[in-house]
Chains A and B, each alone.
Chain A
């Protein structure tokens, strides 16, 4: 048990060291720059839209994609479940209608048919909603891939104004950098 925990700890430490680019600035003060490579960012974005952009520093785009994709995904899963419920109800009404074929009467069959057509309308509507959210989810994921692999969404981006830790003598300090063209 102890050996397993040690192994996990060492592996995590190794991954942390690989992922972070730590620059020693002297005793008692370190400037740490956590950056992922373009390849790592692409893998992150393939796993979940927006993660790579966020890791690469494109906060607004990354956040928008994560929030948007999560919302579409939840809506799609919810509408898919809703469609399944309507499908079960439709099958139940179909069985009821067909059961009236032998020994039933016109009035009951007509009422069952009316309910069945109502269920069919509900089912078609649920299908439309499901497809719409499925398309939006797929479209956002596809746009995420285009953004990552074509539009350079995970390329390191220089911000106009940035705040970075900076050693001033032996004391820690901050460096404000402003860029303009």
Chain B
């Protein structure tokens, strides 16, 4: 082997040595949140007297264990209800006392069996006459 070849061979071996000696074993963990739960769509809320109804749609109910319905008033106070049915698309409550002359922001999201909250739906506005 000529000196020139030997020189470059040794340099290449040094590069390989450095590459293997400095390993980078860190990897991203599995992404659990992106596709875990679907996002409720077409959220519509209705108030007739004291009867409160919310309806929504879900493209997929995979991993869905239930839903959280959220009512937020103009002061920012939030009140929530839990729907313990992953297949539900409606929530009804009678005798709900809401402040008249104001409005509420209604949102909901799915929940899985370990208590992870999925993406929040687009808000719907409920006007209380």
Contact = CB atoms under 8 A, between A and B. Distances in A.
A43 interface: no
Contact of A98 (B29, B34, B109): B29
Contact of A135 (B3, B19, B116): B19
A105 B11 CA distance: 52
Interface of B: 3, 6-7, 10-11, 13-15, 17-19, 21-22, 24, 26, 28-29, 31-34, 37, 109, 114-120
- Report the interface size class on chain A: 35 or more
Nearest to B3: A150
A109 B33 contact: yes
Given A103-B115, A142-B11, A151-B7, 19 more contacts: A94-B29, A102-B116, A103-B114, A103-B116, A105-B117, A106-B33, A106-B120, A117-B28, A120-B26, A123-B24, A123-B26, A124-B24, A127-B24, A130-B22, A131-B19, A134-B21, A135-B14, A142-B14, A146-B10
Contact of A131 (B13, B18, B28): B18
Nearest to A98: B29
A103 B33 CA distance: 12
Nearest to B37: A106
Which 7 residue pairs across A and B have the least CB separation, nearest first? Answer: A105-B117, A138-B14, A109-B33, A135-B18, A134-B18, A142-B14, A127-B24
Contacts of A151: 3, 7
Contact of A139 (B11, B21, B34, B119): B11
Contacts of B10: 142-143, 145-146
Contacts of A91: 26
A150 B19 contact: no
12 contacts: A97-B29, A102-B114, A104-B116, A106-B109, A113-B31, A113-B33, A116-B29, A130-B22, A131-B18, A139-B14, A146-B6, A146-B10
B14 A110 contact: no
A152 to B, nearest CB: 10
A48 to B, nearest CB: 16
A138 B33 contact: no
Interface in A76-91: 80, 83, 87, 90-91
A178 interface: no
B22 A146 contact: no
Contacts of A104: 116-117
Nearest to A133: B18
A100 B118 CA distance: 12
A124 B26 CA distance: 9
Contacts of B114: 101-103
